[in-house]
A and B are shown apart, each in its own frame.
Chain A
Amino acid sequence: MTAPVLEMRSIVKTFPGVRALSDVSLTVAPGEVHAICGENGAGKSTLMKVLSGVHPYGSYEGEILFEGSPCAFRDIRASEAQGIVIIHQELALIPYLSIAENIFLGNEHATRGFINWNDTLRHAASLLKRVGLDEHPQTRVADIGVGKQQLVEIAKALAKRVKLLILDEPTAALNDGDSAQLLRLIGELKEQGITSIIISHKLNEIAEVADSVTILRDGRTIETLDVKAGSTTEDRIIRGMVGRDLDHRFPERTPYEGDPGAHPALEVRDWTVHHPIDQQRKVVDSVSVQVRRGEIVGIAGLMGAGRTELAMSVFGRSYGRNISGTVLKDGREIGTRTVPEAVAHGIAYVTEDRKQYGLNLIDTIGRNITLSALSKVARRGVVDEHEETRVAESYRGSMNIKAPTVFEQVGRLSGGNQQKVVLSKWIFAGPDVLILDEPTRGIDVGAKYEIYTVIDRLAAEGKAVIFISSELPELLGMCDRVYTMAAGRLTGEIPRAEATQEVLMRHMTKNTR
């Protein structure tokens, strides 16, 4: 075996009151793709921040050897000078600057403070070619999709003569096509001798692209598995992450056997939504769906299929223009022109983007939970804070929100616990129909299971649940029926018994135009 390109030995990092890393070692061989797995809070991001100098030398214990020599990075610039570049989950591009300007941001081709544009554009074009992005370097970043933006980030890293590329959840926001392209690119970079570290929750990707995987749990290295040697299955990785065998990744669920004669709890007919800016474009095109009480109905689709747009336009017309179609609740037509109206009719929508659309991060757990139904803890327009606290505490218990009290700021919670707060908020509103949009995005395996259990319980209580997800196993494991969408149209309705990943994917990629 060749000498490792990177060695991190016994890294310990403590924050006030928390020990984020208590003993982590990581060894990466040159030219390999090394995956890091672990539940949220396992210490993956912290470890990468230590490596890239975000947490400067001296703020942690342990030692880092890069290409055999010890490192003491004071900041990100110091690590980048060595060829270590980190690409964060939230892309750090300036939307209104061009691709070329973004690639060389902070690293401009300039003489005496003035930018040499010809040189910049030529170099940018060659970098774009290397990452396989067919866009003009002067295109604004705001005008290209997320998948392409991710490629721009990699081009930016290449411009810094990257030797070790760190990608934090690179495919979290990408559709399957873009993900595949990105993973292919990582393979190509490997050929060129660039070592990569990938943090990912998507275990199938790891199996596909990684040479080895290091598993972290509770701030410790659990094990490093050799993926290429085979025999490392997803279940094997999951076992390392949670420290127990997960023979059931989904709660046992009795399939729905409702009364087909009764009216559906929610029915949407001929729903058409136009794009808010490009008004000629139909984002949702005459879609009809229905869900019954006690039933969990999935909606599958790739990026741009129009699932979120369908949900948000039904929920108080929160998205789109020129919306047409009818919404029926228990067989009667209802109006859902505004969010309060939709809520009053017993509809709840749990957003896919909890930080932006779901939570007031600077406020407390309690106040977030009660926000959508404040009148329930208020009398004559006055909030009863004691009652509010009591309610919030009960959800903290029943939803297992991990926080010392409900006075904790939501922004300080982990993703999984934040999601539980959003769910609590909508359960407290007491809806009949819950539309859950990617309820397990970006949260760890353990918390996912808890969320599944909650969803299952809601259905058992007789609520109708619409479950939008990009993870097919999740839909297969949870839903009684799955709708598939592609390019704004409904392309299939598949009962549980017939649903497999292959069947769903076939419908999701059906070309309807």
Chain B
Amino acid sequence: MTAVTTLDTSTAVTSSRGPRGLLWVMLRLHRWALWFWLALVAVGAGALLWAYGPGADAAWSEYRTLHCDTNDPDLGCDNLGPAYNMYDTVVSIGAGILGLAPFLTAGWAGAALIGRELENGTAQLTWTQSVSPARWLAAKLAVPAALLTAGMLVLTLLHRLLWSTDGPLRAAMGSRSWYEGAAFEANGTLATSYALLGLAVGVLAGLLQRRALPALGLAVVVLALLTTVLGTVRPYLWPLETLTNKHEYPAYIGMVVDEGALTSTGARVSDPICVDDAKCLADHDIVGFYRDYHPSSHFWPLQLVETGIVLAVTALTVLIAFRLLNGRTGAAA
């Protein structure tokens, strides 16, 4: 009789609503990180939406007030007006959150998600509940990954929405091009994949260091190295196109990777900088100029190849993390 009563009370208590098991534990333990992330996404989304609506309208009306779009522009058109500056700053905040999120994620994952738990023994506490270390690590990766992906995709879509409409404004003001770092990443799948890489790097750093602060440092440094290396090889991830021209350089369009002079044999040489000196050009046997570049149509190929590489590195990092944990704890289950 007593056993039945016990069972009844325990089922009565456990039938409360909301997330269960490890998901509840994850959301409860990292409540502040969750709120911080939601707030950050809200700020980013708010900034991008403001820029898309009132910000862009104000910049345009300022542009027209100064008659910058006519043949009789105001002197103020030489400088960017306050409304456009405001617009530009707010867009930078939106894109900046997309660019900063991977580093925040890496530091947080190394320190608070993994490092601190191994340092103070609460990870081991979880492993002696009915949760294997592998399941613990899977939850530690899956829950933040889902929230990061959702938030980053929202911000990316808003950034793309803004980008698709403010082209004339950007052209008029001569700012920000599609291939520039922050805009390039914020307009495609890269921002999200870098955030996931940051998560994986942070988790591995936490497992390696087993202490919060060293893990935070290691995670951020390693992610900075990885992003620098990938940023450097970015232009070579897709075949370049080449423009050539006689007498002068071809038009500067898109992401220019290399440029120089051509001799009569077709060899590429560095520009001797003759300007219009015909004798100088003849002396160096210069018959034309070239530019290697990516047109804007290469945006998606470049974006997707780099995303593939980032996700592959992420997967490898996660695999190493699981193997490391398994080797240490002897947890087959």
Q: Say whether A and B bind each other.
A: no
